[in-house]
Amino acid sequence: MNADDRLTRTLKVLASAALGVALLAVVLAVLHRIMAVVIVVGGALFFAYLIYPLVRRFSRRLPRWLAILCVYAIVAVVLACIVAFVGPKLGSEARSLAQNSPQILQHAQDWILSANYAIVAAIPIEQRESAIKVVDAAVAALQKNAGVIAGQALSIVLSVASVMTAFVIIPVLAFYILMDTQRIRTGLMRLVPEAHRTMALTVLADVDAVLGGFIRGQIIVCACVAVLVTLMLLVMHVDYALLIGVFAGVVDIIPYLGALAGAIPAVLIALFTHGPGWALLVAAGFVLVYQAEGHIIAPNVVGQRVGLTPLMVILAILIGAELGGILGMFVAVPMAGIIKAVAARFLPAAPIEEPTDVVVTKEKRT
């Protein structure tokens, strides 16, 4: 290959790369402008993946539309039962926490200034007073933001209306997605050359397994964490056990950071109401719960479908947080699992050879 041919090929590669970057930028700009639509469609896909196994099972004996409606009815009954049994208690604890927040903050200030505990007394009074100022500043900021929110009541109502509209639209979109699953798959395969369709179907099945395993498994894991945390806090007589347990289950969907965020409120409430010893017991209880989640619940529920090592998960979360904040952290793990599954189909596995010194040592031992 002469120099002109190499230059031409290099220019073509650079032009293709520039075109790809420009196309990606346009797609991201368009998605940013229609973010509300993207969120609704993403929610519909999430819900469709969540209930698809049950729909597929019902579809063996019922028409697809009737199977979907039956699953919707089951989901509605389950949610209604949860709301009926948990909703009143959850609302009561939320109202109680809102009413008792000033007393809790005052108790926290008294605890910081108190010299009854050796740990607190060892801290210089100037630093404790600085901590009090930080607490006061946080309370003032909350009150200021509450006033701003109260002044924008109309926008809040509109936001609530938008959320309620999304909750209506998402099941409708999920219904049509589930109805047209085979048609969507066929349409995607038409975009693939016939010689590569078998591989495309295999990759699509891998992606489906990763997404389905992550979504359904993560929901079950979060529910288990919520139940375990609630029971643990009830046994330890920590206030607002149900509210904190539900919060811990919801934030647990964010890997690693969710565990820390779920434990902080319970530990602080135990610290300010029962003292440092009880706070340490609550912290130990959270460690046990999350150890059970990481070593027993998650491996058996989610399994190896995502196929990521702990190091890969941490790196994916850090990259997702940098690119997309909390939403990026949530989608980082399944996206990394998809990339790994696709790469495994196209990249040959490299043979692992032992170092020469290890082989020689084994031979000597023999």
Reported as a pLDDT band with limits 50, 70 and 90, residue 158 is very low
**Considering the domain boundaries, does residue 235 fall inside one?**
yes
Q: Is the pLDDT of residue 170 over 80?
A: yes
Give the pLDDT of residue 286: 92
- Kindly state whether residue 362 falls inside one of the protein's structural domains: no
pLDDT at residue 152, rounded to an integer: 45
Write the pLDDT tens digit of every residue in 280-308.
999 999 999 988 887 777 777 765 566 66
Q: Is residue 288 part of a domain?
A: yes
Look at residue 339 and tell me if it is in a domain: yes
Number of domains composing the chain: 1
Under the banding of pLDDT at 50, 70 and 90, the label for residue 68 is very high
57 domain-assigned = no
Cβ–Cβ < 8 Å for 179, 65: yes
Q: Match 């108790």 to its residue by tokens.
A: 107
Q: What is the pLDDT of residue 154?
A: 42
Give the pLDDT confidence score for residue 284 in this predicted structure: 92
- Give the pLDDT confidence of 83-138 residue by residue, as tens digits: 888 888 888 888 887 777 777 776 666 666 665 555 555 566 666 566 666 666 66
Inside any domain, residue 229: yes
* Per-residue pLDDT at 77: 93
Q: Which range is least confidently modeled, 184-188, 253-257, 267-271? A: 253-257
Say if 184 falls within a structural domain.
no
Mean pLDDT taken over the chain: 75
More confident residue, 356 or 174: 174
pTM for the model stands at 0.68
In this predicted structure, the answer to whether residue 139 has a pLDDT above a threshold of 70 is no
Q: Is the pLDDT of residue 72 over 70?
A: yes
Asked whether the predicted pLDDT for residue 74 surpasses 90, the reply is: yes
Percentage of residues in the chain having pLDDT higher than 90: 9
pLDDT > 70 fraction of the chain, expressed in percent and rounded: 71
pLDDT for position 71: 93
Question: C-alpha 16: how far from its chain's center?
Answer: 35
pLDDT tens per residue, range 314-346 = 777 778 777 777 667 777 777 887 787 777 777
Higher pLDDT, 244 or 153: 244
- Kindly state whether residue 242 falls inside one of the protein's structural domains: yes
Among 57-71, 267-281, 343-357, the least confident range: 343-357
The parent domain of residue 326 ranges over 195-348
Average pLDDT value for residue range 253-277: 81
